[in-house]
Structure 1
Amino acid sequence: MLYGAMKVAIGGPLKVAFRPWVEGLENVPAEGAAILASNHLSFSDSFFLPAVLDRKVTFIAKAEYFTTPGVKGRLTAAFFKGVGQLPVDRSGARGAGEAAIRSGIEVLERGELFGIYPEGTRSPDGRLYRGKPGGLARVALATGAPVIPVAMIDTEKIQPPGQVMPKLMRPGIRIGKPMDFSRYQGMEHDRFVLRALTDEVMYEIMKLSGQEYVDMYATAAKRQIAEAAKAEKEQAKRTRKPDEERPGAQ
C-alpha cells in the first residue's frame, strides 16, 4: 500500500518532469522473480527505474537512512521504505555483503523483482567499472532467478556532485534480455564461476550503456581520485607558501 502511494507521489512527477525514455520494457516479466542488474551513475537511478516499471523493485540501502533520529530521520525512513528500499547495515564489509545477499534471496523467493548494482557504488566518472562477484552471482545462483541487464543513460548529468538543483533533461533506460545461468547451478561456491557470471552480465550492461569499461573496482577508482585530489591540493599549498612568505606579500 505504502509503495503504491509513494510510486504515484514520486514516480508520476518524475516521469512528467524528466520524461525518461525506455527501451526493452518487454524484457521485464509481468510476474515471477527476476534480478535487475544495473550500472550505477546517480543516486536517482533507484527512482527512475522503478518509475517506469509496473512492478515493485526492491533495492538495498544503507541502514543509516532508516535509523536517523528526529522528524527528518523518520521522514527519510518512510521515504525509503515507500520506494521499496531495504536497510542493510554496512558497518562491516563482510557482514554487509552477507546481509545484502540474504535480503536479495528473500525478495526473490517471494516472486518479486530485486534490483542490484554489481559495481557496488556509483561510478566516479561515468565509466563502467568491474562488477563485484559476491552479491549478484551468489543471489542468482541461490535462487535460479534470471538476471536482466539494465543500463541507465545520462542520469549522472541530471544532478552532478555539488549541484543543488537537478537539471531538467531526459535520462534513458535500456533493458536487456533475461540471462539464464542455470548451467552454473550448484556452483555458487566456485569463485571462478562467480567471476565469470558477473563478467558476463557486466559485458551486457556495457553493450547496452555504451560506457567505456574499466577493469578495476569503482571503490578503488574513487580512492585514486581522492588521493590525486589531495596530492594536488598539497602541491598547490606548497607552491603558494614561498610567495606568501616574501616581504611585502599580501
Structure 2
Amino acid sequence: TFEAHGVEHFLRALEERPQGSPLLTVSNHVAALDDPLLPSTLVPLDRLLTAGRMRWTLCAEENCFRTAFTQCFFAAGKVVPVRRGEGADQAGMREMRDRLREGEWVHIFPEGTRSRDGGATLRRAKRGVGWLAGEAAKGAAADPVIVPFVHDGMQNIQPRGKAPRTGQTVRVLVGEPVEIGDLLAARRAQRGVASATALASAQMDGSSAVADAALHDAIARRCDRALRVLHARLQTGGEATAGASRWADGAYADIASDAFAPANSSDDHKWAVPWVGSALTGPVWAQTLRECMASLEPQPPFAASVALPQAASVRRASALELLFGAGSATLAQRPLEPPLGVSFSAGVIL
C-alpha cells in the first residue's frame, strides 16, 4: 500500500514548470527498489506509458551494468552508469547535466548510497546534487526546479540482503521546491563582475572553480536540509511542520561541525573547497570578502561560523552570499535557515 502526501508539489513542477526548465527530484534511499517503484507511484498514468516523458536516473556501474543483459535492461529504463569514487565531474553525471539542460526530468539520491539503518537517519547530501543543479543552470532555458521527497516503508518491502516482502505500507511525503534562485543569481552576478574587471585568465579560471564549488556546496546543503525537514515530518505524522523544522535544525547542528569539515584525500566527493587566496582570485573578490566580513560577527553555537544580524529577521549567510556580497535587504526577506554559513578552518572555505 502506498500513501502519498504533498504530491501536488511534484505534479505542479512536472507539468507546469517553465518551458525548458530542468526538473531534478531528490529523495532518501533505503532499498534497491526505491527507483523505479517510488517515482512511478507519483506520476500520471500517461507518463508511465510514455518512456520519453519518464525520469532519468543514475546507478553505480558495479551494481547495474555488470553484464550485457543488465546494461541493456537498465539503459532501456533510462538509467545511466556512474562510477563511485570519481567525483561529480564524470561521464554519467555530465550525461545527467545535459539531460537537465534539455529540460528533462532527472531523479537522484543525494546521499549517494542506501541507508545502513533502515532509513532511521539520513546521510548528508553529497556535492553531486549541487553540481548537477549548478552546472545544468548554465545551459538551460530556465533555472532548475528541485523537488524533494522522503519515504518510509520500502526497507520493509525489500530489507537489505533479503528477499522482497508483501503486505507492507510505504508512506511518501513530497515537499515544496528547494529555493536556489538566489544562489544562482549571485553566482551569475559574480561572473559578470569578474568579466567586467577583465581579470587575467589564470585568475578568472581559479576564482571560477572555487566559486562554482561554493555554489554546488550551497545547493547541496539546502537540499540536505529540505530532506531532513521532510524526514522529521514523516516521522511525526507529516503535519508537525514547526516541530519538524526545529528537529531538522537540531539534527543539522549535530552534524554541521564535522560533516562539512575539511575533506581528506579519501573523500571522493571533496566537500571542502581549497581557498587559493587573493593572489589568484583577484582584488575584486578579495575586497568583496573583506567588506562582507567587516559587517559580520560570530554567533553561537558555531564559533567558526559567521552570521549576518538583521533588525527584524536574523538569517545565517550562505557561502555564496558572503563571497559575492548579497545585499542585506535581500537577506532580510528570506526565512531563517539552519547554520549553513561560511566556516574558515585550516585554509578551507565551507
TM-score range, shorter chain: 0.5 to 0.7
Map of 2:31 onto structure 1 = 42
What letter matches 1:26 in structure 2? E
Residue 77 of structure 2, aligned match among 66, 79, 83: 83
Map of 2:147 onto structure 1 = 148
Note the alpha carbon deviations across 1:192-232, whole angstroms, 9 max, x for none.
44333222211111121226857377xxxxxxxxxxxxxxx
Contact 2:99 2:105 in 1 (8 A): yes
What letter matches 2:150 in structure 1? A
Residue 61 of structure 2, aligned match among 39, 58, 63: 63
Compared CA separation, residues 120 and 164, structure 1 to 2 (3 A): same
Deviation, 1:79, is 2.9
SS of residue matched to 1:94: coil
Map of 2:103 onto structure 1 = 111
Deviation, 1:116, is 1.2
Over aligned residue pairs, what C-alpha RMSD do you find?
2.6
Structure 1 regions of 5+ residues with no counterpart? Answer: 1-18, 218-250
Compared CA separation, residues 129 and 193, structure 1 to 2 (3 A): same
What letter matches 2:130 in structure 1? A
Matched, 1:26 2:4: no
Residue 86 of structure 2, aligned match among 94, 99, 102: 94
Map of 2:40 onto structure 1 = 51
The higher-RCO structure (CA 8 Å, 6+ apart) is 1
Contact 1:149 1:205 in 2 (8 A): yes
Contact 2:178 2:226 in 1 (8 A): no
Deviation, 1:141, is 1.5
What letter matches 2:34 in structure 1? D
What letter matches 1:197 in structure 2? I
Give the structure-1-normalised TM-score.
Answer: 0.67
Give the structure-2-normalised TM-score.
Answer: 0.49
Compared CA separation, residues 165 and 131, structure 1 to 2 (3 A): closer
SS of residue matched to 1:142: helix
Note the alpha carbon deviations across 1:165-191, whole angstroms, 9 max, x for none.
323312122111112312222377434
1:181-200 equivalences under 5 Å are 181-185=180-184, 186=187, 189-190=210-211, 191-200=213-222
Residue 128 of structure 1, aligned match among 122, 129, 145: 122
SS of residue matched to 2:160: coil
Matches of 1:38 and 1:97, distance apart in 2: 21
Matches of 1:80 and 1:86, distance apart in 2: 8
Deviates more, 1:141-150 or 1:182-191: 182-191
Deviation, 1:66, is 5.8
Matches of 2:210 and 2:175, distance apart in 1: 27
Compared CA separation, residues 165 and 67, structure 1 to 2 (3 A): closer
Structure 2 regions of 5+ residues with no counterpart? Answer: 48-53, 138-143, 189-208, 236-247, 260-350
SS of residue matched to 1:209: helix
Deviation, 1:67, is 4.5
Deviation, 1:128, is 0.6
Contact 1:141 1:184 in 2 (8 A): no
Contact 2:29 2:113 in 1 (8 A): yes
* Sequence identity (%): 24
